[in-house]
Amino acid sequence: MSRKNTMIPFNAPHPTGQETRYIAEAIRIGKLSGNGEFTKRCQGFFEARYGFSKCLLTASCTDALEMCAMLAGIAPGDEVIVPSYTFVSTALAFVRQGAKIVFADSRADHPNIDAGTIEALITPRTKAIVPMHYAGAACDMGEIMRIAEKRGLLVIEDAAQALDSLYVGREDEEPRALGGIGHMSAFSFHDTKNITCGEGGMIAINDGRFAARAETVWEKGTNRADFLRGKVSKYGWVDCGSSFLPSEITAAFLLAQLERLDDIQAKRLQIYSAYLEGLSPMAERGAFAMSALPSYATNNAHMFYIVCNSLEERGGLIERLKERGIGSAFHYQSLHKSEFYRGKHDGRELANCDRFSDCLVRLPMFYDLTIEDVGRVCREVGGYYGN
């Protein structure tokens, strides 16, 4: 349906039609507290489709990252290398364990962490590297894993935006699903993601050293999983953990989305292509910049963004779109300049990160956006730039 004279929101969730049926089935089964049939079916979907060794649904991606930090044994005095251009949870999960965050800059041509800067940030206290795949485009995982192996570090992928996206590698590397390359990874199924259940996440364990303990941490620090398998006669408190499980209602909603993954992705890619066709001529004339997808990455159409030439220019564009009934949004603020962490940062300038913080603007991107809607957005962007 065209929105010629109506508001185009920045984001709108897309119910597939099966969600209420699956939720009703979960209610009929009578187990709503988590780790039931729908949770297991969702976890099995990811393990089968992407080859992840072990998956556990969580109530949020933040929860999944906190599990990663606990399983990695992050402790006070440890250092963790994190991109500054990311959501606060990427860093916060490790701060909660007492780590010092060492912020890395973005690439000049993409908000992802600049892998070429990582090795200079490593000290004897470094414990882990946490790349975040911005907009679903892969970080340079070949180089990051090479550095990690050489220096004996863990790699924890923040794959919040990276569902169904690949690191295709170079000539001597095999394509790998993002989230399945590092030792552990975290996914998000928040309202703004390609696949959603409102609030939800998942941890993927790719290193067998962490698999058994992951279930204990997931189950509030108890050995309940072993009890349910008949390995122990009763279960109790055996480790640190928390209540990370989502309810079966959440998992039922998520399964309905996962069953339509291919359709959802195909439609989002059509929308992305329409944006690319409509805006590329303006970018080529220098009106603004668009990110070049790295040669080793695939596109999962999580978002479409442009990079303005200044903070003032971006503010003017967002205001113009708002006046004309189109939702748009800037994105992350540089974490190294945040009120919470700026006093702890070592003072290094992270110029690329700051540029994206000041100049990047996200355009509407959701399943029910029409090609006519995209055309309207492109025309309004063009009008702002005099095209």
Domain boundary among 209, 232, 258: 258
Helix axes 211-218, 61-71, angle to 10 degrees: 130
Together in a domain, 43 and 164: yes
Whole-prediction pTM value?
A: 0.95
pLDDT value for 3: 58
Burial label for 3, CB within 10 Å (0-12, 13-18, 19+), is middle
Q: Are strands 201-205 and 184-188 parallel, antiparallel or unpaired?
A: antiparallel
Together in a domain, 284 and 232: no
Together in a domain, 342 and 235: no
DSSP string, 66-101: HHHHHHTT--TT-EEEEESSS-HHHHHHHHTTTPEE
What three-state secondary structure class fits 310? coil
Instruction: Report the distance separating Cα 133 and Cα 366, nearest Å.
Output: 19
Q: 189 lies in a domain?
A: yes
Q: 155 lies in a domain?
A: yes
Note whether 88 and 335 are within 8 A (CB).
yes
Neighbouring-strand partners of residue 83 = 104
What three-state secondary structure class fits 163? coil
Q: Which helix (H) or strand (E) holds 143?
A: helix 141-151
Show the domain range for 55: 19-258
Distances (CA, A) of 147 to 48, 86, 140, 150: 29, 21, 11, 5
Together in a domain, 82 and 166: yes
Instruction: Report the distance separating Cα 231 and Cα 247, nearest Å.
Output: 25
Together in a domain, 126 and 224: yes
Together in a domain, 193 and 87: yes
DSSP state of 259: T
Amino acid in position 385: Y
Note whether 127 and 78 are within 8 A (CB).
yes
Q: 13 lies in a domain?
A: no
* Residues ≥6 apart with Cβ < 8 Å to 23: 249, 252, 253
Together in a domain, 184 and 90: yes
Q: Are strands 184-188 and 154-158 parallel, antiparallel or unpaired?
A: parallel
DSSP state of 26: H
Note whether 104 and 84 are within 8 A (CB).
yes
Together in a domain, 192 and 307: no
Together in a domain, 206 and 93: yes
Here the CATH number for the domain that contains residue 175 is 3.40.640.10
- Count of domains forming the chain: 2
Q: 12 lies in a domain?
A: no
Together in a domain, 376 and 308: yes
Domain boundary among 258, 289, 321: 258
The per-residue pLDDT string of the chain (387 residues; one tens digit each, 9 = 90 and over) reads 555 668 999 999 999 999 999 999 999 999 999 899 999 999 999 999 999 999 999 999 999 999 999 999 999 999 999 999 999 999 999 999 999 999 999 999 999 999 999 999 999 999 999 999 999 999 999 999 999 999 999 999 999 999 999 999 877 778 999 999 999 999 999 999 999 999 999 999 999 999 989 999 999 988 877 777 778 877 888 889 999 999 999 999 999 999 999 999 999 999 999 999 999 999 999 999 997 899 999 999 999 999 999 999 999 999 999 999 999 999 999 999 999 999 999 999 999 999 999 999 999 999 999 999 999 999 999 999 987
Domain boundary among 258, 288, 306: 258
Q: 14 lies in a domain?
A: no
Instruction: Report the distance separating Cα 275 and Cα 204, nearest Å.
Output: 32
115-152 pLDDT, tens digit per residue, is: 999 999 999 999 999 999 999 999 999 999 999 999 99
Q: 9 lies in a domain?
A: no
Together in a domain, 201 and 344: no
**Tokens coding 148:** 């990690």
User: Do you know the residue count of the chain?
Assistant: 387
Find how far residue 56's CA is from the centre of its chain: 16
Note whether 291 and 305 are within 8 A (CB).
yes
Residue indicated by tokens 């220019």: 313
Q: 177 lies in a domain?
A: yes
What three-state secondary structure class fits 336? helix
Distances (CA, A) of 310 to 167, 302, 364: 31, 24, 21
Q: 358 lies in a domain?
A: yes
Together in a domain, 111 and 58: yes
Closest CA to 220 of 56, 376, 76, 344: 56
